[in-house]
Amino acid sequence: MELYFLGTNAGVPTLQRNVTSVALRLLEERRSFWMFDCGEATQHQILRSPLRLGKLEKLFITHLHGDHLFGLPGLLSSRGYQGGIAPLTVYGPPGLKNYLDISLSVSQSRIPYKLEIVEHTGGLVFEDDSFKVEAGLLEHRIDSYGYRVTEKDSPGSLNTELLQSYGLKPGPLYGKLKKGENVTTEEGIVIYAAEVVSEPKRGRIVTILGDTRPCEGTLPLSVNADLVVHEATFAHDLADMAYQYHHSTARQAAELAKEAGAHQLLLTHFSSRYSNPEALIPLLEEAQMIFPETLLAEEFCAFPVYRRVLRN
């Protein structure tokens, strides 16, 4: 599991950075990737990346501002031309379906795969045996949502060498042991699951927040997250401007990560006034003073999501 950034700029693209989009690569977990937001030219960014649109399984939109949305019709159309045939589900706030229906209809775009559009107003938006995704309303000029992606705990691994020493070969009894059930061999030997199965693997939590100024909604989405992605449109010397435009500063993002007990923070959605990497250093420094485990998101860079033990 890792995050791969396709756009990290706020508002409009620049020669250095594109507008917002980030992929959650789940190649080992699902053999697919999910995407969060799809600003203009995201499909061009994908052409410069290792991502393949045919592997895109789910796409989550935080809000309906153009720098998070305008790349979506073209990407959906191109996915079909590039051989994407697997179903795709797009999640987002009310109004998303109308926007896509009109865009794809007027342009007579051909979508040769099953496309499902799910509008939501927060809460649980997706769940299966291995993942669940929850959304929460933030505070922006229009309804903007953050997403909390929770990987469910997975069973521990079997000690196959020990099992073979008992004369137990792979079969149905292996499955029972992995479920935590004790079993008895044909020779009458009782094998206790706790002795041959390692501790379950704790699922990871990734929080991706849409545009927001500091608000109550960010905390429940971020509590104990392994990785939080938070906008940092401005440095804190422009905190008044950030509040006026319903955005956050790097320091405010760090304060949220610290309060939430997160493990790592990634800053993104930078104002165009910070036009080069050197100009972003003050944002990183002010965040690290409060939350040392902070990094700047970089386009075409992967950031692994590591497992960790929850703090007591």
Ligand-binding site membership of 67 (annotated): yes
Ligand-binding site membership of 65 (annotated): yes
Structure tokens at 195: 């002795």
Show the beta-strand stretches assigned E in 98-248: 115-119, 123-127, 131-137, 145-151, 183-184, 190-191, 205-208, 227-231
Ligand-binding site membership of 63 (annotated): yes
Give the residue carrying structure tokens 């769940």: 127
Q: Which candidate, 31, 95, 23, 93, places its Cα nearest to that of 59?
A: 23
Give the residue carrying structure tokens 């190649």: 27
Structure tokens at 14: 């620049």
Structure tokens at 82: 């590039």
Q: Which candidate, 141, 65, 139, places its Cα nearest to that of 96?
A: 65
Whole-number Å distance between alpha carbons of 1 and 303: 9
Is 37 one of the catalytic residues?
no
Other beta carbons less than 10 A from residue 128's beta carbon: 9
Structure tokens at 180: 């935590």
DSSP annotation string for 88-134: EEEEESTTHHHHHHHHHHHTT----S-EEEEE-SSEEEEE-SSEEEE
Ligand-binding site membership of 269 (annotated): yes
What are the residues whose beta carbons fall under 8 Å from the beta carbon of 161, sequence distance 6 or more?
A: none
Catalytic residue among 67, 153, 226, 240: 67
Whole-number Å distance between alpha carbons of 121 and 223: 20
The answer to whether the CB of 255 falls within 8 A of the CB of 243 is no
Q: Which candidate, 52, 33, 3, 10, places its Cα nearest to that of 275?
A: 10
The binding site for Zn(2+) consists of 63, 65, 67-68, 140, 211, 269
The binding site consists of 63, 65, 67-68, 140, 211, 269
Instruction: Please list the active-site residues.
Output: 67
